[in-house]
Amino acid sequence: MKTLNRISVYLILILGVIITLNGCKKEPGESECNEPAIDVPFQSFGTSVGRNDCTLQNIDDTQTEVAIVIDNIADFQKYVYCINGLEVDFSKHFMLAGRTKRPACAYMENQTLSLKCDQLHYSIEIGPMVCQKPTDVFYFAIVAKEYLKYPVKFSVTINER
C-alpha cells in the first residue's frame, strides 16, 4: 500500500510539472507585450452600405478571406477598381485592402486600426443584411506611410444577429 501511495505521489508531481510547462506555452505569434494599443488615423472609402464604390480585382476568387497591403500605384491599379475613381498619393500613404465572402448579404459595419507591440491591427466587423444572396464584403483604409514599417494583422469579425 505504501508503494502504491508513493507511486501516486510521483505521478501527481510529474503530471503537475507537465501541466505547468505545457499550460504556459504561447500561441505562435503571441507576444508578451502588455503595452496599450494606440489608435492609428486612417481614411476609409468605397464601403457604403448597399453598394461598393470600390472592389478588389485580380485576386483568388476561391479564397474566403483576402488581405492585401498596397504601397505603390502599380499594385493599386492591379488590385483596386473604383467606379468613381480614387487617387492615393503613395509617396505619403499606403493602403490596406481586403475582401470577405459571405453566404448571405452582409456589409462592412465598422473598422478600426491600432498599433500595439510594433504591429498594426486592422479590425473589421461585418454585419448581416436581410437577403440570401452570396456577397463579397470589401474594406479599405488609407494610412500614413510612416506606419508601413509595421507588420499588419487583419482581423475580421462576423456579427451574426
Write down the pTM of the prediction.
Answer: 0.75
User: What are 28-78's pLDDT values in tens digits?
Assistant: 555 578 889 999 999 987 555 545 588 999 999 999 999 999 999 999 999
**Mean pLDDT confidence for 79-102:** 92
Rounded Cα–Cα distance for residues 150 and 160 (Å): 31
Q: How confident is the model at residue 17 (pLDDT cuts 50, 70, 90)?
A: very low
CB 71 within 8 A of CB 65: no
Instruction: Locate 121 and state its grid cell.
Output: 491591427
Rounded Cα–Cα distance for residues 17 and 22 (Å): 9
Best CA proximity match to 158, nearest among 134, 129, 136, 128: 128
